[in-house]
Structures are given as structure tokens and as C-alpha cells.
Structure 1
Amino acid sequence: MALTQQFARVTPRHPERCRAAALASPDAAPGWAPPESDTLDTDWALWGLLRFCRGPGADAATARLLDRVTGGDPGGDVGFLDHPDVHDGFGEPPRLLSAAAVSDISRALDGTNLDGVLARLPTAPPAAAAACGFPGFSGDLPAYLAGHFTATRAFFREAARRGMCVVVWID
């Protein structure tokens, strides 16, 4: 099974409903079922972009932003989502980004010069793939990274527009 970066847009009240469901359930099931239209799977792309931004000639601001996007914020008290119905147990449990954090992140994603970041990728495809931690990647790496970054930016922009929180996890 491949592990991928997952996101779900939820209303600020949704975590409390899940917490109540978990408390009422004999197996602590949180009743987690965000609509498919409010979920996003970014495969491994954001991790590769993050790795590249941490490397030589790095873009530290983009690295910090992607760290927050993929790792969430500490706190948020959503430990009840560390349940097999939500998370397979690999890596950190799901984390919550508050509506205010989502708004901040959305603005930062909108302000990121992705073309500038991608222009610093090595021109040789194997070297570019290695710089992102994807040895053996076949295909158009800049397009792969850009497609998932653009989808993430649109996802967060819509969450911010709707005043929603975002739950992040690896599954």
C-alpha cells in the first residue's frame, strides 16, 4: 500500500461531532466521513517539493510553509481521529489546521512563486528526481509537482473562502 498525503476540509464544528461520536461508540469510531469533494490526496508530490526546498540553494520560506501544510499545527485536540476509520497508524495522527490557520496558509500558498522554485530544479530528470527524493521517477517531474501544488493551493483557497478547517494526515 502506498502512503500519501491526505487533506479533508471540515467545518469548525465537525471535530466536535466526531469527538462526541467517538465517545458514544464502543470502539471509539469518530463517524469520520467528509464528502469526497472536501478531500484531497496529493500522493507524494508535496513531500518531494518539501525535500527539494530544504536542499542546497533551498527556499526556506516555502519549506516552512510546506512543513505546516503537510504536518498541520500542534494542538487542535483531534486525537480521537487516530482511529482505523480515519488513519492507518503510519506516522503522526491526524492534525487540525484551524480556520484562521487555513486562511493564513491559503494566502501564503497564493504568494508562493512555484515557477521560481521549479526553475531551480536540476535540468537532468534523474538529478531532479534525486533532489526531490524520488530516485527512479519517470515522467514529467515539474508537471507532477506543479499539478499537486496547484491542487493544494486551490483546496486551501476554497477552505479559506468557506471558513473551514483542514485535517491533515498520511494514509
Structure 2
Amino acid sequence: MAVTQQLARVPAEYLASCRQSADASPDGDPLWDPPSTDVLDLDWAPFLVERAGELGGLDDVRRSALRQALDGDTAIDLGFLNTHPHAIGSFGPAPTALSAAQVARAAELLGQIDFPALLDALPTDEAEAASLIGSGADKIVGGPKKYVLRHFTALREFYRGASRRQLLVVLWWD
């Protein structure tokens, strides 16, 4: 089974409820089960999206926002989501999250990124572009550019929706 990055949009109250459930449960079960409509599977695209942005000349402010949108932040304590046997991110680093304010800022900056223009800065030959991007991009059926654009667009829309609803975003690898 492949390890992929997952994101969930949740209200602060839901996260508090999960924390309470974990504290009350004898085995630390947080009853984590966000609605599937508020979960995004980014596959293993985060590394490729970030690299394409770097190669395409994405400025530091937006590159930092993209990195935060993909990595989260450790300011919100999510230890209760990382406890065996109910750990949600048992194959990667500990889960992270962005507050509603951080989500709003990330959504704003992601919305300012012209990702097709960044991809236009890459070689037109998909094999050459894949070689520059690295991280297995050469194995992507259909070429890395479409794959990276599709996942960046999904990420941007996901954050836009979370921002509109003033939700937090929780990130983990599973």
C-alpha cells in the first residue's frame, strides 16, 4: 500500500470533540472520522508540486505558503491523533494542522499562484520535465505536468473551501 498525504477540513469544535473522546476512551480512540467530502487525498504529489513551484520560479512568499499548505504547523497539539492503536498518520510524521486564520492566508496565497505558468517554465518534453522534477515523476502515466497541475488545483480548491467555511485543516501521511 502506498503512503499518501491526506488532508481533512474540520471545525475547531470537531477537533475538540475528538480530543475529548481520546481522553475519555480507555484505549485513546479519538473517534476521528471526518466526512469524506472534507478529506483530500493528495497521493504522493506534495513533493512534486513543491518542486514544480520551485523550478517554475515561484516567489518566496507563495512558495512558503505552498509549503505550509502541504506541511501544516505544529502549533495545534494533535498528539491524541497520533496514539496507537488509533494513530491516523502511522506511516509518516506526526499529524499537523493549520488554524482557520492560517487556512485563510494559505487559501489567499494559493489563489494567487498561476500554476500553469510555472509549469510552462519547465521543458515541454515530459521526460525532461520529469527528470528535473525528480521524486519518481518519470513514472507518472500521462506525464508529470498534468498530474502536478491536477493535484495543485485540488489543493487550492480544498483550501478555498476550508477558508470560506472557516475550518481548520489537519494533515497527515497514511
Same fold, TM-score > 0.5, yes or no: yes
Distance change (3 Å), C-alpha of 1:35 and 1:86: farther
Count of aligned positions: 170
Aligned to 1:65: 65
Classify the secondary structure of the residue corresponding to 2:119: helix
Aligned to 1:30: 30
Q: Decide whether the 8 Å contact of 2:53 with 2:115 is kept in 1.
A: no
Q: When the two structures are superposed, what TM-score results if normalisation uses the length of structure 1?
A: 0.91
- C-alpha distance in structure 2 between counterparts of 1:92 and 1:72, whole Å: 11
- C-alpha distance in structure 2 between counterparts of 1:72 and 1:65, whole Å: 10
Aligned to 1:104: 105
Aligned to 1:82: 82
- C-alpha distance in structure 2 between counterparts of 1:128 and 1:160, whole Å: 33
- C-alpha distance in structure 2 between counterparts of 1:86 and 1:10, whole Å: 17
Tell me by how many angstroms 1:53 deviates: 3.0
Cα distance per residue 1:72-108 (max 9 Å; x no partner): 0121111111135352422211111100001000001
Aligned amino acid, residue 107 of structure 2: S
Tell me by how many angstroms 1:60 deviates: 4.3
> Which of 136, 140, 146 is the equivalent residue of 1:137?
140
Does 2:18 match 1:18?
A: yes
The root-mean-square deviation of aligned C-alpha atoms, in Å, is 1.7
- C-alpha distance in structure 1 between counterparts of 2:35 and 2:173, whole Å: 18
Aligned amino acid, residue 106 of structure 1: A
Query: What are the ranges of 5 or more consecutive residues in structure 1 without an aligned counterpart?
Result: none
Distance change (3 Å), C-alpha of 1:89 and 1:60: farther
- C-alpha distance in structure 1 between counterparts of 2:89 and 2:98, whole Å: 20
Tell me by how many angstroms 1:119 deviates: 0.7
Cα distance per residue 1:135-169 (max 9 Å; x no partner): 33231322211111111111111111111100011
Aligned amino acid, residue 151 of structure 1: A
Aligned to 2:51: 51
Q: Matched residues, percent identical? A: 39
Aligned amino acid, residue 75 of structure 2: G
Does 2:165 match 1:162?
A: yes
* Poorly superposed stretches of 4+, deviation over 6 Å: none
Aligned amino acid, residue 41 of structure 2: D
Classify the secondary structure of the residue corresponding to 1:3: coil
Q: When the two structures are superposed, what TM-score results if normalisation uses the length of structure 2?
A: 0.89
- C-alpha distance in structure 2 between counterparts of 1:53 and 1:150, whole Å: 13
Distance change (3 Å), C-alpha of 1:60 and 1:2: farther
- C-alpha distance in structure 2 between counterparts of 1:90 and 1:155, whole Å: 23
